[in-house]
Amino acid sequence: MSASLVGSEMCIRDSYKNNIIVSAMAAVIICFISVFAGYALSRFHFKWNKMLLATFAFAQMMPVISRLISLYTILRKLNLTDTHIGLVLAISATQVPFTVSLMASFFDGIPGELEEAASIDGSGRFYTLFHIIMPLVVPGLLAVGVYSFLMTWDDYLHAITLIRSNDLWTLSQGLKLTSVSYTHLTLPT
């Protein structure tokens, strides 16, 4: 096996590892934010509740590329370009509007009487959320986790824009840029 092919295998192996790290970190952060924000949108009705949900829906309609230049500028000023943390934050910002709306709809399906009964029994808000409500919305949390993991796994646009170092490439970036480096090879005819 030639040295270039061994280097390619190392690149792909590192890209797999980086992709798993970035996808797992993004899934955890997105699930954490979505649980609290979805619960707040579902249970605490305030003046701007519907406007916030409409803003989340509008954010999903905007193409990712239209936000990418400003996102890159912000992350560059914070010295977060070419880091996994910057990539995770960028991807999380893209996915949070949908996942918050999804979790809010799961929390809407849980009757408020359960929380009232827990409150009468002396439970605090966090105890009620984590011990009574969360077991009922585990399917929603799993849906959010799987969705965010898979969307991060497939992300190419954020990775190619924010990551420049070969050792930080994600899988889609590593496959594309490794295959581009072998295009100079000519096939026998």
User: What's the CA gap between 56 and 53, in Å, rounded?
Assistant: 5
Residues of the chain with pLDDT under 50: 1-7
Rounded CA separation 178/51 (Å): 45
pTM equals 0.83
Three-state DSSP state, 112: helix
Give percent above pLDDT 70 in the chain. Answer: 88
How confident is the model at residue 76, as a pLDDT?
94
Question: Residue length, the chain?
Answer: 189
Q: Identify the pLDDT of residue 165.
A: 86
d(CA 56, CA 62): 10
In the chain the first and final C-alpha atoms are separated, in Å, by 23
